């Protein structure tokens, strides 16, 4: 049973506009959340993360928001650029000794940025 | 990434044959992971290792075994390949923190 869910398999956005990617989780023990970006024929690469003690983390054009009560996080990309076209994975990790460092991934969202 | 390499990059094999995928790292990280990526499922953990000869199962370990005899190498073996194991396999390394993952470029395995 998937504990991290990305319900939108794809997203198309115009260059310069905002991309909003959503992620929901079911495990209240998750303590650390990450977004990965993946281009075809390459491995995922780390994009941005947030711990449960924060509700927002910003890094340049990328901002991640966390709503713990709703078990929901989102990734905002502003402005979107053609190079942002990729698959984005949401991931989560627990804080216990057993779960720390083991990532649970969502199914991914394919983002296409059009000119 | 130069710190982690997977081999082979592509493989086609027949049902019932054994297959071994290799992951090699030069970062001296303690943790190594094998994931598979399938449409609609994202990446799912198969097995992981927290040290030489120390391994444990992930969420989709049936049909797979692993070995780690050296810090730098983590092998994934499909004892008898099935069509359901057709997938893209990713190895990852980590110093032990969730934000320290580095993934390899993947192995595309097709079982016919």
Q: What are phi and psi of B101, to 5 degrees?
A: -70, 140
List A residues 63-92 in contact with B (Cβ-Cβ < 8 A): 89, 91
Q: Does residue B19 have a pLDDT over 60?
A: yes
Q: Hey, are the CB atoms on B99 and A49 less than 8 Å from each other?
A: yes
CB < 8 Å to B44, chain A = 105
Are A102 and B59 in contact by the 8 Å Cβ rule? The answer is no
Q: How far is A37 from chain B (nearest CA, A)?
A: 11
| pLDDT tens digits along B32-85 | 999 999 988 899 999 999 999 999 999 999 999 999 999 999 999 999 999 999
Give the model's confidence band at B16: pLDDT under 50 very low, under 70 low, under 90 confident, else very high.
very high
Question: What is residue A43's predicted lDDT score, i.e. its pLDDT?
Answer: 95
Give the model's confidence band at A97: pLDDT under 50 very low, under 70 low, under 90 confident, else very high.
low
Q: What is the DSSP string of B58-84?
A: -TT-TTEEEEEEETTEEEEEESS--GG
Question: Hey, is the C-beta of B105 within 8 angstroms of any chain A C-beta?
Answer: yes
Question: Hey, is the C-beta of A62 within 8 angstroms of any chain B C-beta?
Answer: no
């Amino acid at each position: 049973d998937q504990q991290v869910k990305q319900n939108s398999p794809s997203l198309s956005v115009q260059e310069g506009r905002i991309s909003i990617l959503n992620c929901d989780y079911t495990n209240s023990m998750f303590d650390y959340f990450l977004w990965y970006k993946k281009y075809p024929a390459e491995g995922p690469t780390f994009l941005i993360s947030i711990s449960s003690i924060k509700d927002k983390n910003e890094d340049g054009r990328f901002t991640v928001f966390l709503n713990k009560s709703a078990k929901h996080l989102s990734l905002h990309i502003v402005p979107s650029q053609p190079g942002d076209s990729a698959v984005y994975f949401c991931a989560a990790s627990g804080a216990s000794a057993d779960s720390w460092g083991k990532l649970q991934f969502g199914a991914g969202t394919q983002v296409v940025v059009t000119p | 990434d130069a710190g982690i390499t997977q081999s082979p990059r592509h493989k086609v094999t027949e049902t019932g044959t054994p297959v071994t995928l290799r992951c090699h790292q030069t970062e001296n990280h303690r943790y190594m992971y094998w994931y598979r990526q399938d449409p609609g499922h994202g990446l799912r953990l198969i097995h992981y290792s927290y040290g030489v000869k120390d391994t444990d199962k992930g969420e989709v370990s049936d049909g797979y075994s692993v070995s780690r005899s050296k810090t730098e190498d983590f092998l994934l073996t499909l004892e008898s390949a099935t069509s359901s194991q057709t997938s893209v396999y990713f190895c990852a390394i980590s110093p032990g923190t969730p934000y320290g993952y580095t993934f390899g470029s993947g192995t595309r395995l097709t079982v016919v």
